[in-house]
Amino acid sequence: MSLKLYTFKVQAGGEEIPALTGDYIRIEKALVPVRVRTENGDDFTLDEGEEANIGEFKRLILGHGGVGEEEIRLFVGTGGARVGSAKVSGGVSVPGGVNVNNLRSAVQVGNSNLVRRTITTSAGELAAVNPNRAFISIKNQDEVGTIWVSSGSVSVGNGWELGPGESIEFIGGAVFTGVLIAIGNAASNPNVMVWEGSY
């Protein structure tokens, strides 16, 4: 098993790199997409940070769509040697959009308070009205019980559902300053933690 970093200066038309054996490639640095071909018929393109696990090869042909010479740094691995990829790509679509005006980039909290609450099958107050609330975090630490939380009326199956071990946090422009009510499906769930901070 081995892993080596190579640097090549590659012309746009492509260059054959003989005597380079491996079964894994990761593009460490390249300003342009890199076309990778092997003697086995593999033919694909990788961007900087991307990787490919392929059948064993004994030579590569590297190319790119840029103009002139480009420096390409790549890892080549054999026998299961790999480099963790840090590239994350994609997008998130939010129906209706998100209004980011007037949102705080950081929350300065004057004081915070962590309390354990017992939730039963009767709706009860989880957190009182707090017009200065900067954040609130609620965690259901029970191993079997589920709770439901709401800023209005709440019932089993109605509200934000927190199963065993789950939590919810409201911060910045999403904080409810009013009363929060909770109900559970267990006769007594003494394992609900509420962490609240105020400006």
Q: CATH fold of 2-78, please? A: Jelly Rolls (2.60.120)
User: How does pLDDT run along the chain (199 residues), one tens digit per residue?
Assistant: 788 889 999 887 777 787 788 999 999 898 889 999 888 889 999 998 888 888 899 988 898 888 888 899 999 988 877 776 555 556 666 666 555 555 555 555 567 788 888 899 999 999 999 888 888 889 998 888 999 998 888 888 888 899 988 988 887 666 778 899 999 998 888 889 898 888 7
Q: With helix as H, strand as E and coil as C, how does the chain read?
A: CEEEEEEEEECCCCEEECCCCEEEEEEEECCCCEEEEECCCCEEEECCCCEEEEEEECCEEEEECCCCCEEEEEEEEECCCCCCCCCCCCCCCCCCCCCCCCCCCCCCCCEEEEEEEEECCCCEEEECCCCCEEEEEEEECCCCCCEEEECCCCECCECEEECCCCEEEEEHHHCCCCCEEEEECCCCEEEEEEEEEEC
CATH 2.60.120.770 domain extents, the chain: 111-198
Q: Tell me, what's the pLDDT at 143?
A: 86
Report the top-level CATH class of 111-198.
Answer: mainly beta
Q: Tell me, what's the pLDDT at 190?
A: 82
Q: Tell me, what's the pLDDT at 59?
A: 87
Q: Tell me, what's the pLDDT at 96?
A: 61
Q: Tell me, what's the pLDDT at 111?
A: 75
Q: Tell me, what's the pLDDT at 176?
A: 77
> Which residue reads 């593009």 in tokens?
27
Q: Is the dihedral of CA 7, 12, 16, 20 positive or negative?
A: positive
Distance, CA of 27 to CA of 46 (rounded, Å): 7
Distance, CA of 158 to CA of 36 (rounded, Å): 54
